[in-house]
């Protein structure tokens, strides 16, 4: 029975990633912990699922990817990954996660209000150096708490990326970082026969979940998609972080 729960959670996470462009770990990891699934196996499984979802998404969104921005983000992430390990060892997880959750909720509410009011703000943080800084934060949060998509999503909204551009850059970034994440999980010994068996059962469901998510995205107006990122994803994911 627990395996059925794991499959459903993994598929819900994949659907979340497909629709919003990020957030599968924020949804899946707390739920897997709730049903008592092994933490290391959960980490390896969700990392692999994220990589499998990112690959076709990156191919599909190829023409909308700003490769220079992705390169800067990934370069920053390489620096941020060891910082995340340091954070795990030195700072209590509750402090970091609750602080990030409060920020996401506040920023999501503000951005949703700003969007619904019809005000069009000017893009912020346009200097290329901010790409590296965001990548560093993303790498740190990714290696520490599997939350590497959150900083890039917030950064994209500040830069006024379109919904399609934001999703494309997120997926390309996830693909590059996801390879590093899965490799690190292998090196850390997180993978086991059990994890491989569960992944083998999860994959056929992805062939249904991912196209369904793309079908939903195609029927959401771009402006509404941005509002969903502001109001739906950021606020909900902030609440999820507060419960970790």
Question: Can you give the pTM of this predicted structure?
Answer: 0.75
Nearest one of 173, 101, 110 to 138, comparing CA atoms:
173
Q: What is the pLDDT of residue 8?
A: 92
Per-residue pLDDT, 20: 75
Counting as low any pLDDT under 70, the low residues of the chain are 1, 88, 93, 111, 114-125, 144-146, 221-233, 241, 243-244
CA separation for the pair 215, 213 (Å, rounded): 5
């Amino acid at each position: 029975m627990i395996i059925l729960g794991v499959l459903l959670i993994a598929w819900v996470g994949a659907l979340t990633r497909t629709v919003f462009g990020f957030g599968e770990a924020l949804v899946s990891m707390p739920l897997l912990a709730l049903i008592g699934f092994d933490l290391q196996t959960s980490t390896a499984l969700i990392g692999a699922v994220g990589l499998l979802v990112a690959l076709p998404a990156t191919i599909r969104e190829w023409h909308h990817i700003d490769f220079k921005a992705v390169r800067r983000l990934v370069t920053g992430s390489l620096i941020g990954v060891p910082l995340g390990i340091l954070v795990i060892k030195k700072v209590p997880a509750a402090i970091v996660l609750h602080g990030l959750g409060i920020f996401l909720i506040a920023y999501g509410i503000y951005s949703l209000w700003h969007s619904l009011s019809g005000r069009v703000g000017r893009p912020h943080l346009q200097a290329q150096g901010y790409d590296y800084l965001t990548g560093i934060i993303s790498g740190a949060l990714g290696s520490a708490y599997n939350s590497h998509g959150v900083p890039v999503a917030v950064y994209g909204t500040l830069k006024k990326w379109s919904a399609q551009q934001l999703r494309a850059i997120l997926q390309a970034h996830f693909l590059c970082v996801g390879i590093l994440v899965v490799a690190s999980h292998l090196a850390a010994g997180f993978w086991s026969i059990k994890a491989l068996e569960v992944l083998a059962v999860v994959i056929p469901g992805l062939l249904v979940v991912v196209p369904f998510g793309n079908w939903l995205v195609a029927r959401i107006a771009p402006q509404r998609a941005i509002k969903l990122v502001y109001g739906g994803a950021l606020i909900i994911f902030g609440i999820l972080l507060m419960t970790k």
